[in-house]
Amino acid sequence: MSFRFPVRRGLALAAVAATAILAGCAQPPPPPAPIAVAPPPPSVSLSPRLIEQASAYRAYVDKAAQITPAFTDGASIALSLKTGESYEPHQLLRGAIAYGAVVALQDPAFRAGVRTYVIDADQRRTIAYEIMKDPAYALGIAGAAGAAGLVTNALGEDGKKLLDGGKAVKQAAYDVQHYAWSKSDVVGREGRLAMAKQLSATPIAGDVDITAKLQSAVTGTQPLTLAASTAAPPYTPMVVRSLAVAALAALGYADDASLEQVMPIMAEPNSAQCLNMSKLNLYQCLAVARPHYEDVFCLGQHVLMDTGSCLMKSVGLAEPAPPLAAPMPVTRVVDKTSSRTSRHHRHKD
């Protein structure tokens, strides 16, 4: 009896063995692709350079508002003049807008209104682009009226402090004439004018403590203490630009990386012209001022009052007359030949 090998069965077993060998050599299937996770929305941030500008503005206003009319000699007048003169108009304007942006971010409704657009990256980018193209676009965001009210009150109150302080100092130009020292000529008049021009062209640095306070206000860790207020449109360019920068900060587009696009918003021609005019009037006033009491007049009128008026006008809180040349204080001189008191006015050229 012969034995037959089952051919078909042998072939099947061989195929199974080959498949097993090939399976052992094959690579494992790739893992499933990870599910894309959207990055978290950016936090509210303002470029340190813009916060520094806001700090410089705040520091100047605080110091200038402390100038008092209690002058005792020429040195005290010179020191107050130096304090009041120490701002460059365009820097002060940028600082006012930056400070206004920090103030606008203190309105919870406006801050929340802007933050609704940060979830979707494309929408966030689109809103930021529209604001950069037209700052008034920020006025359509929920809460804008409340933020505009805060900016109007904050900058307007700063202006009023300077204006009121300037009125008191200007009055002192007449009051100090009771003292003989006030009628003495200022020593080094040319140098005094040169210093005024130098200080008016030199940017000032912000205060360290103020800078830290403003940074905390931007992030929301320590908000500024401001009274809630709502302002109805139309808004001035200063208010509009402050809100625009605030909105960009809440969208994450006011950091250093976006500074080139933000800086054009930090200019406002009308307010710049007003501040420049106050400086020109100051130079003209100092150029002809001789006795100390006339320097007091220049300080009160063209440093404090004019600058305060510009700030108030910039937010539409008031419409004071633009800075104009004003007559010097009246000097009373006794005419010994007629025993009568005559009045002499000194005018600027």
Which is nearest to 226 in space by CA: 162, 113, 150? 150
Amino acid at 323: P
Calculate the alpha carbon distances from 57 to 18, 51, 83, 91, 110 in Å: 83, 10, 13, 8, 23
CB 349 within 8 A of CB 284: yes
Tell me the pLDDT tens digit for each residue of 51-103: 999 999 999 999 999 999 999 999 999 999 999 999 999 999 999 999 999 99
Which is nearest to 262 in space by CA: 68, 106, 49, 62? 49
N-terminal to C-terminal alpha carbon distance within the chain: 143
pTM greater than 0.75:
yes
Calculate the alpha carbon distances from 250 to 146, 161, 222, 245 in Å: 16, 30, 16, 9
Contacts of 311 (CB under 8 A, 6+ apart): 96, 155, 156, 158, 159, 162
Domain parsing of the chain, residue ranges: 48-345
CB 291 within 8 A of CB 182: yes
What would the mean pLDDT of 228-237 be, rounded to a whole number? 90
* 111-114 contact pairs (CB < 8 A, 24+): 111/44, 111/143, 111/220, 111/250, 112/142, 112/143, 113/141, 113/142, 113/143, 113/144, 114/141, 114/246, 114/247, 114/250, 114/251
pLDDT at 150 over 80: yes
Tell me the pLDDT tens digit for each residue of 238-295: 999 999 999 999 999 999 999 999 999 999 999 999 999 999 999 999 999 999 999 9
